[in-house]
Amino acid sequence: DTDQLPSVGPGNVLRDLIASGAIPCCRLDTIFRQDTSGLIVRNAHHVNRGEPLETCAGDSDFYFVETGEPDKIIARTVDLMTQRIPSKFKLDPLADVQVLTPMRRNLLGTENLNDVIQAALNPSGPSLVRGCTHFRVNDRVMQLRNNYDKEVFNGDIGFIKQVDEEDRALVVLFDGKPVRYAQSELDELVLAYACSIHKSQGSEYPAVIVLLHTQHYKLLQRNLLYTAITRGKRLVLVVGSSRAVHIAIKANQVRERRTSLRERLHVPLANGSHSTTGK
C-alpha cells in the first residue's frame, strides 16, 4: 500500500523494488479488513484525496471526538477505554482496543500514555520493575527487537500471563505461545496499551483510538493519518483537535528519499552471478 508510511530507517526498499519492474508484483484493490460500506473505508479514501472526514451522529464504525487540550485528550481516552467502548461495543479494552499516537515522548506520547492507561486498566498486582516501568500480569506488551532464540520479533504484541517475583522472571503469551523473560531481558519489552502509528503499520486491531494534536505538528501528514485509520477493523475513534486533523489531511509533502537500488537492479552482474569475493 503506497499510501502508508515509509520505513523509519533510511532507504525505500519496497518502493524501489516495485518501481524497478524487475520483480513480479500486483496491487491489491479489494478491502477485506473493514466493512466497505462503513465510514472507516470512506474516511480512508477521503484522507487520501485530501478531503475532510465524514462523521455520523448515529451508530457508526467511525467517530471524531473533538477535544482541545492534551490533558483532556488523555482523560477522554481513558473514559473511552474503560467505559464507553466496553459498554456500547462490547469490546475488551485490554485485548481489543489499541491507542495510536504519532510520538513517543511528551504528554501525548506513548511513554506517558502507557503509564496512564495501565493505571486505569491494570493498576495493581505482582510485578517486575525495569526503570520506571512496572510489568504486571495481563499487561499488553510489545517486543522491541528481533530475538531469534525466542522466535519473537520487533513489533510482536503479547500479554503477560505470569510474573515470578522470586525468580525475577515473567512469561508473555504471543499468539498462544508462552515466552519466558528474565529480569535482564526486560529491555526487550515495552508496555503497548499505546504505540506509535509507525509501530502499528502492518498490524490490525478490532478498535483503535487515534490521538491527534497540534503538539504533533511536525509529524502531521496525510499518510500518517491514513495509516492510523486503516489499522482499525470494527471501530475507529479519532480524538483530538479538528485543526490537527485538518493539518494532517492537507499535508502531503512526502519527503523524497534518494536511493540507487532501482537503478542497481538493472545493472547486469559480472559473469551473470554475484561476486563471491566479498568485494
Per-residue pLDDT reduced to its tens digit, 173-220: 999 999 999 999 999 999 999 999 999 988 999 999 999 999 888 889
pTM: 0.84
Averaged over 250-271, what is the pLDDT?
A: 74
Tracing cell 459498554 back to the chain, one arrives at 87
Within a 10 A sphere around the Cβ of 154, how many other Cβ atoms? 12
Tell me the domains of the chain and their CATH numbers.
31-38+61-102+197-255 (3.40.50.300), 121-194 (2.30.30.940)
pLDDT for residue 31: 62
Per-residue pLDDT reduced to its tens digit, 85-99: 999 999 999 999 999
Whether the per-residue pLDDT at 276 is higher than 60: the answer is no
The tally of CA atoms less than 13 A away on the side-chain side of residue 92 is 6
Within a 10 A sphere around the Cβ of 201, how many other Cβ atoms? 18
**Phi, psi dihedrals of residue 219, rounded to the nearest 5°:** -100, -5
Per-residue pLDDT reduced to its tens digit, 134-153: 999 999 999 999 999 999 99
Whether the per-residue pLDDT at 8 is higher than 80: the answer is no
Q: For residue 84, what is the DSSP state?
A: I
**With b meaning 16 or more CB within 10 Å and e meaning fewer, what string describes 7-38?**
eeeeebeebbebeeeeeeeeeeeeeeebeeeb
Per-residue pLDDT reduced to its tens digit, 18-76: 878 878 887 766 666 666 678 999 999 999 999 999 998 789 999 999 998 999 999 99
